[in-house]
Amino acid sequence: AAVAEEPITPPVQIDHTQLLINGEFVDSASGKTFPTYDPRTGEVIAQVAEGHAEDINRAVSAARKAFDEGPWPKMTAYERSRILLRFADLVEKHSNEIAALETWNNGKPYEQAAMAELPMLVRLFHYYAGWADKIHGLTCPADGPYHVQTLHEPIGVAGQIIPWNFPLLMFAWKVGPALACGNTIVLKTAEQTPLTALYVAKLFHEAGLPPGVLNIVSGFGPTAGAALASHMDVDKLAFTGSTDTGKIVLELAAKSNLKPVTLELGGKSPFIICEDADIDNAVELAHFALFFNQGQCCCAGSRTFVHERIYDEFLEKAKARAMKRVVGDPFKKGVEQGPQIDSEQFEKVLRYIRSGIESNATLECGGGRLGSKGFYIQPTVFSNVQDDMLIAQDEIFGPVQSILKFNDIGDVIKRANATRYGLAAGVFTSNLDTANTISRALKAGTVWVNCFDVFDAAIPFGGYKMSGIGREKGIYSLNNYLQVKAVVTPLKNP
């Protein structure tokens, strides 16, 4: 792997570090701030207003007022749709600066932020703008002289809590459907990555979004996040993050006002490579499935199951591919992997690597820090990984590939499903029957066949088991943000 070099100056300046409440950038009530960092160096890049319960209260009041008194839910659906479209166009116009800010605060390669994350955000808002004026209820036949109709109404004030691994995409998955359905929002960003959501929220107001419809509170989980999850005047909660925190917010929601909760949580996704697979393609895809975004993907293909007949060749090629991976300053052209997000994640990944070595998995390459500053980790491959090892069970969230051997389809299906998670899975085979058998048997919210990490605004995403509750994106996300009201009227002359 290439060694990290001197950091390049990011081509963007930081304009917004305050909370966004009722259409205005304001300090937190306490006046407190917290530092946000550049993962390339660990240096502070800005001080950001730190929201607490009092700020969440202010933001919820603004969202409540914008919902109850309008203009947002009272605007025509077409007008709301136009604002979403204008916002997407403004993001597209500024996408180079926004991608630079994302890379600066998160460490992901600039080319990936600019060429994947930004276009996906734009596409998603175009997609949900299309839904805004196509949401309607039904008329229902009933036994009796009644006229029965259902109204699909926005649910109210949505509280949304997002993580740091895809700050903008998570913003889009949450905000797009909620606004399309006519809700108002209080969004809490991850404490590691507060900057890009503030930047794009400013553009939303330029696009004509009325004040109070989208409020953004930066801050920490146990303070700002918990205040949002337990707020009595928040009507719906959507959360993406770890399974442990998902349990906490679900409990806070239940103990407060029973707001419905959607959760998108962790994973330990299997990637199954059958004996008839094209090995070179499988190697490349399995590499991408795990190492993409520094391994910081909830759906990362983190258990690579390889059929014993092709195991040796696959292993040799997977190792060679990992050793060729270009790691370095994420602003540099051609860099495939930047630093991990922060020292906590960096230390956690290194602990898992040590655990792999101690449990006698074979370290094929990598295994340590890269360079001497920032949070860079060498692309790491373990072979001879057994199901009961910690590295095969826990979500590592880093550039560590675990390769396991199998010899029977029925057996590998059982092993793939023997996890508390069920977010995603990959199957690699040239046999249609094998693809069908495996994809139907896997307990996972997404199964990618001969591909991986294919995301689209229209494709639903979410988890079985402890990977979550509910689905985001596509038509499925709309239900999360709508109430159904049945209106029943007697018919005088049926």
Give the residue at shortest CB distance from ligand ADP. Answer: 221
Pick the stretch among 67-75, 87-95, 199-207, 239-247 that binds ligand ADP (CB under 6 A): 239-247
Residue 34 interacts with ligand ADP (CB under 6 A): yes or no: no
Label each residue of the chain as H, E or C.
Answer: CCCCCCCCCCCCCCCCCCEEECCEEECCCCCCEEEEEECCCCEEEEEEECCCHHHHHHHHHHHHHHHHCCCCCCCCHHHHHHHHHHHHHHHHHCHHHHHHHHHHHHCCCHHHHHHHHHHHHHHHHHHHHHHHCCCCCCEECCCCCEEEEEEEEECCEEEEECCCCCHHHHHHHHHHHHHHCCCEEEEECCCCCCHHHHHHHHHHHHCCCCCCCEEEECCCHHHHHHHHHCCCCCCEEEEECCHHHHHHHHHHHHHCCCCCEEEECCCCCEEEECCCCCHHHHHHHHHHHHHHHHHCCCCCCCEEEEECCCHHHHHHHHHHHHHHCCECCCCCCCCCECCCCCHHHHHHHHHHHHHHHHCCCEEEECCCECCCCCCCECCEEEECCCCCCHHHHCCCCCCEEEEEEECCHHHHHHHHHCCCCCCEEEEECCCHHHHHHHHHHCCCCEEEECCCCCCCCCCCECCCHHHEECCECCCHHHHHCEEEEEEEEECCCC
Q: Of 23, 107, 194, 221, which one interacts with ligand ADP (CB under 6 A)?
A: 221
Please identify which residue in 51, 163, 212, 422 interacts with ligand ADP, judged by CB under 6 A. Answer: 163
247 binds ligand ADP (CB under 6 A): no
Among 124, 249, 283, 444, binds ligand ADP (CB under 6 A): 249
Residues labelled catalytic: 264, 298
Which of 49, 161, 412, 482 binds ligand ADP (CB under 6 A)? It is: 161
Q: If binding is defined by CB under 6 A, does position 53 make contact with ligand ADP?
A: no
Whose Cβ is closer to ligand ADP: residue 215's or residue 383's?
Answer: 215
Q: Does 51 bind ligand ADP (CB under 6 A)?
A: no
Distance of closest approach, residue 215 Cβ to ligand ADP, in angstroms: 15
Q: 51 or 356, CB closer to ligand ADP?
A: 51
* Residues near ligand ADP (CB under 6 A), total: 17
For the CB of residue 153, give the shortest distance to ligand ADP in the complex, in Å: 27
| 226 near ligand ADP, judged by CB under 6 A | yes
Does position 36 interact with ligand ADP (CB under 6 A)? The reply is no
Task: Answer yes or no whether residue 107 interacts with ligand ADP by CB under 6 A.
Answer: no
Q: Which of 220, 288, 455, 464 binds ligand ADP (CB under 6 A)?
A: 220
Q: Does the footprint of ligand ADP cover residue 222 (CB under 6 A)?
A: yes
Site membership for ligand ADP, residue 225 (CB under 6 A): yes
Q: Find the shortest distance in angstroms from Cβ 191 to ligand ADP.
A: 5
Q: Least distance (Å) from ligand ADP to the CB of residue 106? A: 12
List residues near ligand ADP by CB under 6 A.
161-163, 188, 190-191, 220-222, 225-226, 229, 241-242, 245, 248-249
